[in-house]
């Protein structure tokens, strides 16, 4: 096929032919320029170490450091001339450094490779994203805690299969998400601790013959230690996958609450009212107040999970050590990190601003035979019935109430005694939803006193 024919097939965007297509495939500067700060920090640490070890002169190291500082300022101001033909952030920075300081710039890459360079840049970035995620989670946990404290004794239905199961408290429901987020927080902290090893000095894959001090560069960049195997150092992306794993689980938790907000804010439930800041109206139905922020988060957070799968697929077939495939590790993670941070911030805003409808919650808690388990428990305690027998008696009474079109507390004592003569008037003391939640005093239970204890524990833990 002629080049002109090929260009027609490939499209006008690649009018330059094969070279333009290869440049488009190969270049990563369009996205990895986001690693500029990390790349410059790694280079400054590397140059300082080279000088301390006598590998380059102090004068060259000083020139390199001053030049890199100027490059950082240009990037921060938006004046830096990023060039696609230089492929990536590393070559763009080094080329600009050479323009600024001349020959000393050529000494910066002594005893390193782009393989260990990108490894340290990416670890620094992902480590920062772990810290950002933890901060975002803390803010969201505090928002849930404020809701839990305000509604420690507000009754609402607890659900299984989205069917009314037993009464719980609003505070208890809010605290369930605090527990989930605490696990998310610990996963990011664990991932951060595991990734906090410095690959700089592994060079291309085998280490270097120069007398470098890897401990010095690790310390300078805030790592706990240097990585112990040069092959693993340049081929490892576990740290990115682990971040995405923690992010995916956290995103799943956020999406679950987004789903609850969509349900709860509906006219059929009316459990919560979302603030205008996180809702929109309908273009033709003036009565509508749509939970758009919750719906968008529910969709957007799927991208985080997709990023994890995408990076796993990239890495699963790669032999040691570095392959160009690994250039595809960044765009997905950048997008996932941005999506997660947006999700955490938006959810914190929605939780802080939402107003629970206490009356609607209480009315729903009292419907659907939510105290049936309390009745069965009472039959065991008061009449010494085996639980299976108590379960059968309770089921019969539920059916009786259904046929009568009422709830369990509305049955008369005579009706209840027709099912089991041992039932006394004391049974009505356990059938109210307020009594039900107060009775759930086991550790981790929904009783208001237990909720307040957990709120105090978490407030103390978060400081």
Catalytic residue numbers, as ranges: 161, 282
- Asked if omega into 113 is within 30° of 0 (cis), the reply is no
Q: Which two tokens stand for residue 377?
A: 């428990």
Helix axes 387-404, 372-383, angle to 10 degrees: 130
Is residue 461 exposed (0-12), middle (13-18) or buried (19+ Cβ within 10 Å)? exposed
Largest CA distance in the chain: 100
Contacts of 460 (CB under 8 A, 6+ apart): none
Alpha-carbon gap, residue 94 to 104, rounded angstroms: 11
In the Cβ-directed half-sphere of 347, how many Cα atoms lie within 13 Å?
Answer: 35
Other residues' Cβ atoms within 10 Å of the Cβ of residue 230:
21
Alpha-carbon gap, residue 88 to 220, rounded angstroms: 24
Is residue 438 a contact partner of residue 448, using CB atoms and an 8 Å limit? yes
**In 3D, which of 318, 317, 340, 315 has the Cα closest to residue 329?**
315
Alpha-carbon gap, residue 439 to 196, rounded angstroms: 47
**In 3D, which of 342, 262, 340, 259 has the Cα closest to residue 305?**
340
Residue 5: which H helix or E strand, with range? helix 3-10
Other residues' Cβ atoms within 10 Å of the Cβ of residue 251:
27
Alpha-carbon gap, residue 291 to 101, rounded angstroms: 55
Cα dist from 395 to 58, 82, 389, 401, 435, whole Å: 85, 72, 10, 10, 20
Q: How far is CA 7 from the centre of its chain?
A: 43
Is residue 361 a contact partner of residue 271, using CB atoms and an 8 Å limit? yes
Alpha-carbon gap, residue 111 to 144, rounded angstroms: 50
Secondary structure (DSSP) of 15-55: TT-HHHHHHHHH--HHHHGGGHHHHHHHHHHHHHHHHHTTS
3-state helix, strand, coil in the chain (%, to 5): 70, 5, 25
Alpha-carbon gap, residue 78 to 86, rounded angstroms: 18
């Amino acid at each position: 096929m002629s080049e002109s024919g090929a260009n027609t097939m490939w499209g006008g965007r690649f009018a330059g032919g094969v070279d333009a297509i290869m440049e488009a495939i190969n270049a990563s500067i369009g996205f990895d320029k986001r690693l500029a700060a990390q790349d410059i920090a790694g280079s400054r640490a590397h140059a300082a170490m080279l000088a301390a070890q006598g590998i380059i002169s102090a004068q060259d190291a000083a020139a390199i450091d001053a030049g890199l500082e100027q490059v950082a300022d240009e990037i921060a101001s938006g004046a830096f001339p990023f060039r696609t033909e230089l492929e990536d952030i590393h070559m763009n920075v080094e080329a600009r450094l050479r323009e600024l300081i001349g020959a000393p710039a050529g000494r910066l890459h002594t005893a390193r490779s782009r393989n260990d360079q990108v490894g340290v840049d990416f670890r620094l970035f992902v480590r920062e994203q772990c810290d950002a995620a933890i901060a975002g989670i803390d803010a969201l946990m505090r928002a849930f805690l404020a809701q839990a404290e305000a509604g420690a004794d507000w009754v609402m239905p607890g659900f299984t299969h989205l069917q009314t199961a037993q009464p719980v408290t609003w505070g208890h429901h809010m605290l369930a998400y605090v527990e989930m987020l605490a696990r998310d927080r610990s996963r990011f902290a664990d991932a951060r601790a595991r990734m906090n090893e410095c690959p700089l000095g592994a060079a291309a894959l085998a280490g270097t013959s120069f007398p470098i001090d890897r401990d010095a560069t690790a310390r300078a960049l805030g790592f706990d230690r240097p990585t112990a195997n040069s092959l693993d150092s340049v081929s490892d992306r576990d740290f990115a996958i682990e971040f995405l794993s923690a992010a995916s689980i956290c995103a799943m938790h956020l999406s679950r609450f987004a789903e609850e907000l969509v349900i709860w804010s509906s006219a059929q439930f009316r459990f919560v009212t979302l603030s205008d800041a996180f809702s929109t109206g309908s273009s033709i139905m003036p009565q509508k107040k749509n939970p758009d922020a919750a719906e968008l988060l529910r969709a957007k957070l799927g991208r985080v999970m997709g990023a994890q799968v995408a990076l796993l697929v990239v890495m699963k077939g790669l032999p040691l050590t570095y392959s160009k495939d690994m250039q595809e590790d960044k765009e997905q993670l950048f997008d996932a990190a941005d999506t997660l941070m947006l999700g955490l911030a938006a959810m914190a805003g929605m939780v802080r601003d939402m107003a629970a409808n206490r009356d609607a919650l209480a009315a729903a808690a009292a419907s659907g035979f939510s105290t049936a388990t309390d009745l069965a428990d009472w039959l065991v305690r008061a009449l010494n019935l085996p639980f299976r027998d108590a379960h059968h008696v309770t089921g019969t009474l539920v059916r009786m109430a259904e046929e009568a079109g009422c709830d369990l507390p509305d049955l008369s004592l005579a009706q209840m005694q027709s099912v089991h003569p041992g039932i006394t008037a004391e049974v009505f003391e356990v059938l109210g939803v307020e009594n039900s939640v107060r009775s759930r005093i086991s550790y981790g239970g929904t009783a208001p006193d237990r909720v307040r204890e957990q709120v105090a524990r978490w407030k103390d833990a978060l400081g």
